[in-house]
């Protein structure tokens, strides 16, 4: 599916939550800086994806592609290999 169609499909939907005080939407997670920052707080267990957010990540980035992007940006974040990143990203469970 074309990227713009995916963005429009998820626009206005809550994709993630930070400590119950802030919600994350498409505009927060549609760029690498935003998704990397969100994954950083996921690591600290201060944020969670919704099921809609998990679906967005899979559809917009693809788990394997996002794992590669993260590894290329920082080979030790969030895990030490692309394969470990894939397992990590694939392990997300929705909070609600």
Quick check: 1 pLDDT over 80? no
- pLDDT at site 76: 86
Q: pLDDT (tens digit, 9 = 90+) per residue, 63-90?
A: 999 999 999 999 988 888 999 999 999 9
**Average pLDDT in the chain:** 92
86 preceded by cis ω (within 30°)? Answer: no
Instruction: Calculate Rg over the CA atoms of the chain.
Output: 12
- pLDDT at site 96: 60
What predicted TM-score, i.e. pTM, was given to this entire model?
Answer: 0.90
Q: pLDDT (tens digit, 9 = 90+) per residue, 7-30?
A: 999 999 999 999 889 999 999 999
Whole-Å CA distances, 82 to 51, 59, 85: 23, 19, 5
CB distance 63 to 89 below 8 Å = yes
CB distance 7 to 26 below 8 Å = yes
């Amino acid at each position: 599916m074309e990227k713009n169609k995916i963005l429009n499909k998820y626009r206005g939907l809550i994709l993630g939550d930070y400590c119950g005080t802030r919600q994350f939407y498409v505009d927060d997670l549609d760029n690498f800086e935003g998704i990397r920052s969100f994954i950083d707080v996921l690591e600290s267990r201060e944020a969670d994806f919704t099921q809609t957010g998990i679906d967005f990540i899979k559809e917009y980035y693809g788990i394997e592609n996002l794992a590669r992007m993260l590894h290329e940006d920082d080979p030790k974040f969030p895990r030490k290999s692309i394969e470990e990143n894939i397992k990590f990203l694939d392990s997300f469970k929705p909070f609600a």
